[in-house]
Amino acid sequence: MERRKIPSKERYQIYAKYNGRCAYCGQPITYKEMQVDHREPLAKGGADTEENYMPACRMCNHYKHTLTVEDFRKQIGLLCDRLRARTYIYNLALRHGRITENCDPVIFYFEKEAPRDN
Ligand SMILES: [Zn+2]
């Protein structure tokens, strides 16, 4: 799918949308680090327009890839199960109380914070 080149003025507006934070995890990101995610993936018929752009950190953008927001939510919700099933050091840390799991429903940053008007 051909992507349009996003002019820098528009990139700044996308960056400012959630006050310099990733729209998904809420991590502060620099303008340079920001990746522009398509909330509804192009591969799934999403538009290549400003309304569909979300500022994202590299990790969220990579993991979301061509997932819809709801599929991304499901995948994030499965992370503890995956870590428990596959990662010795994670289980050791859990057993020793070094980490605690959060099994609350996944709520993305953009769902808690209203976008900033430009
Ligand atoms: Zn993120």
| Per-residue pLDDT at 12 | 96
Residue 23: name the closest of 90, 110, 114 by CA. 110
| Per-residue pLDDT at 115 | 87
What confidence tens digit (pLDDT) does each residue in 30-77 have? 999 999 999 999 999 999 999 999 999 999 999 999 999 999 999 999
Residue 118: both structure tokens together: 């430009």
Residue 50, CA distances (Å) to 10, 20, 74 in order: 8, 16, 25
Answer whether residue 1 shows pLDDT above 70: no
Q: In angstroms, what is the span from residue 87 Cα to ligand 1's centroid?
A: 22
Q: In angstroms, what is the span from residue 101 Cα to ligand 1's centroid?
A: 18
Q: In angstroms, what is the span from residue 39 Cα to ligand 1's centroid?
A: 13
Q: In angstroms, what is the span from residue 115 Cα to ligand 1's centroid?
A: 16
Q: In angstroms, what is the span from residue 77 Cα to ligand 1's centroid?
A: 14
How far the first Cα of the chain sits from its last, in Å, is 28
Residue 1 DSSP class: -
Q: In angstroms, what is the span from residue 54 Cα to ligand 1's centroid?
A: 11
What confidence tens digit (pLDDT) does each residue in 3-33 have? 789 999 999 999 999 999 999 999 999 999 9
C-alpha span between 114 and 117 (Å, rounded) = 9
**Structural domains in the chain plus CATH codes:** 8-73+106-112 (1.10.30.50)
